[in-house]
Amino acid sequence: MIENLCVILGDQLSQNIASLKNFRKEQDKILMMEVVNEASYVNHHKKKLVLVFSAMRHFAENLKKQGYPIIYSKIDNSSNTFTEELVKHCKNIKPKKIVIVHPGEYRVLQEIKKWKKILKIPVSIIEDNRFFCNIDEFQKWAGNKKELRMETFYRMMRKKHHILVDDDGKPQGGKWNYDVKNRKRLPKSHPKIPQLLEHRPDRITNQVIIDVKKKFSKHFGDLEPFWFATTNQDAMKNLEEFIENRLELFGPYEDAMVQNEKFLYHSVLSMYLNIGLLEPKQVINKVLQKKNISIESIEGFVRQILGWREYIRGIYWHEMPKYSKTNFFNAKNHLPEFYWTGKTEMNCMKNCLKQTIQDAYAHHIQRLMITGNFSLIAGIDPKQVCDWYLSVYADAFEWVELPNTHGMTLYADGGILGTKPYAASGNYINKMSDYCKECKYDVKQKEGKDACPFNYLYWNFFLTNREKLENNPRLWTTFSNIKKMSKERKKQIKNDSKKFLIQIKKI
């Protein structure tokens, strides 16, 4: 008789996962399940499906080699949901108890909470120890605070974990945050950027590619060429390559965007971190060991993982389930079809969408200030935008996608996460990228059919949402400009925006 059935989910692929800590090979068993519902509850990118299934199969094979008894359900022979598949196996092996690490998504937690009643055995949900900050600790930190700001949380984490702080608790280098130094455009004369480490699919990955082609051919994105790491060892090589070749310039060019340069100096590690092939503590330790890197880059990178990533997760569990339902601006427009096809004449959008289709990747500023900014100022329904982001990126899991999209990008939470909406006109995009020079639209023109759509949509957004935003002190300059605007100009902005929004509905 099996004592504990230890269920490991597709984003829990860490050898250190808490559910394996007290595992006894003689009397316990592991269950891993590829199931249709997880693969299709949104239109996941095909590369993301291959990543998750291949990493799961590699992880299982590795556990088997270490002598762990394991049941593995492959997608071509499995049920629709975790519950159906679990019930099937429990009938056979009759475990006394289910053990599972707290899942990453609220949706899955709700499913797991029903297992006790369905299976009539205890279900132990144990804490996910891979994060720096657990859910209860964040709740305590949030307490009755009026504002939950990332910067305050991040400083607390730096001090608590003694990361980049001196013995007296002061930040190394004298400052907590070097963000202002990290906003450079990539100069034209910049030397060649090191190439990202790509991996050739092995036997397991090739089989998964066949399975995904067979079952999910209608899903979003290009399946091949597939180049992601699918094991801890390969993901580790990507981390090492990043630290060696990219980290030094990560900080200064964090916000830059360049046509046909998909990765620049970004780490491209989120997809490995989010499924457990890499662990945040391991990544930060390795980065801190590297000598002779400027504090701007080290701090900039540490802030993303110790600050943003942990804070975003805390906000998700603090605010769910009500978080996903809010719509502060009452935005109702449909997501334009070109988000799925990439067929638009806005060159910035086309570039970001094209690389999303090809590689299931875009870096933060492309997501926030191009595709995200557009959906904000075009008044697109938050639910449709969130579903899109959850589908198209290899690193997309709701706990991290939702606060970034719904909160940071769309301000649909009314300011829980951000202090103001990240709306920007073409001027910002032109400053930070080289997209505009090859665009059909003219970034310098403010109105009329040739004007950059970001220019009038930007003002249209503030005119439409004036009542909700004009008392925000961070938007004082924006609204003082609006006060100076002539009636004719406002009318023109409204007309140009209306025409454009009608036209994109038809494409």
Please report whether residue 305 would count as binding ligand FAD according to CB under 6 A.
yes
d(CA 359, CA 19): 32
Angle of helix 232-245 relative to helix 280-289, nearest 10 degrees?
Answer: 30
Nearer to ligand DLZ (CB atom), residue 103 or residue 418:
103
Per partner kind, with CB cut-offs from 5 to 8 A, the member of ligand FAD, ligand DLZ, ligand SF4, none near residue 309 is ligand FAD
What three-state secondary structure class fits 462? helix
Judged by beta carbon distances under 5 to 8 A according to partner kind, the member of ligand DLZ, ligand SF4, ligand FAD, none in contact with residue 35 is ligand DLZ
Report the site for ligand SF4 in 302-331 (rule: CB under 6 A): none
H helix or E strand, kind and range, residue 6: strand 4-7
Of 75, 196, 273, 352, the residue at the interface with ligand FAD (CB under 6 A) is 273
* Shortest CB 439 distance to ligand FAD, Å: 22
- Closest residue by beta carbon to ligand DLZ: 10
324-363 per-residue burial string, b: 16 or more CB within 10 A, e: under 16: bebebbebeeebbebbbebebebbbbbbbbebbbebbbbb
H helices of 290-332, in order, are: 295-302, 310-319
**Residue labelled with tokens 């809010």:** 326
Question: Could you say which of ligand SF4, ligand FAD, ligand DLZ, none residue 300 binds, taking C-beta under 5 to 8 angstroms by partner kind?
Answer: none
Site residue total, ligand FAD (CB under 6 A): 27
Q: Is 452 in the site for ligand SF4 (CB under 6 A)?
A: yes
Compare residues 265 and 317 and give the one whose CB is closer to ligand DLZ. Answer: 317
CB of residue 400 vs ligand DLZ: minimum separation in angstroms?
10
The percent helix, strand, coil of the chain (3-state, each to 5) is 55, 5, 40
Interacting positions 310-329 with ligand FAD (CB under 6 A) = 312
287 near ligand FAD (CB under 6 A):
no
Residues 371-430 that bind ligand SF4 (CB under 6 A): 426, 429-430
- Dihedral sign computed on CA atoms, order 324, 308, 229, 64: negative
Residue 274 binds to ligand FAD (criterion: CB under 6 A): yes
The binding site for ligand DLZ (CB under 6 A) comprises 9-11, 33-35, 38-39, 44, 49, 52, 103-105, 108, 397
Size of the site for ligand SF4 (CB under 6 A): 14
CA distance 224 to 98: 37
The one of ligand DLZ, ligand SF4, ligand FAD, none whose footprint includes residue 348, by CB under 5 to 8 A per kind, is: ligand SF4
| Number of other residues whose CB lies within 10 A of the CB of residue 205 | 22
**Interaction pattern, residues 142-181, with ligand FAD; x per rule: CB under 6 A:** ----------------------------------------
Residue number with CB closer to ligand FAD (180 or 502):
180
Q: Does 441 bind ligand FAD (CB under 6 A)?
A: no
Sequence-ordered list of residues with C-beta below 8 angstroms from that of 412, at least 6 positions apart, any chain: 326, 327, 328, 329, 331, 382, 406
CB 377 within 8 A of CB 458: yes
Q: How far are the Cα atoms of 33, 183, 193 from residue 36, in angstroms, in the given order? A: 10, 42, 39
Give which of ligand DLZ, ligand SF4, ligand FAD, none residue 103 binds (C-beta under 5 to 8 Å, depending on kind): ligand DLZ
Whether 5 contacts 93, CB under 8 Å: yes
Nearest alpha carbon to residue 474 among 419, 417, 410, 407: 419
Sign of CA dihedral 48, 371, 298, 243: positive
Q: Does 368 bind ligand FAD (CB under 6 A)?
A: yes
Q: Which alpha helices (H) appear in 321-381, and where do they start and end?
A: 338-341, 347-359, 364-365, 373-377
Residue 435 binding ligand SF4, by CB under 6 A? yes
Judged by CB under 6 A, which stretch of 16-24, 49-57, 82-90, 265-273 contacts ligand FAD?
A: 265-273
Residue ranges binding ligand FAD (CB under 6 A): 266-270, 273-274, 304-305, 308-309, 312, 363-364, 367-368, 372, 389, 393, 395-396, 400-401, 404-405, 408-409
Residue ranges binding ligand SF4 (CB under 6 A): 346-348, 426, 429-430, 435-436, 439, 441, 443, 452-454
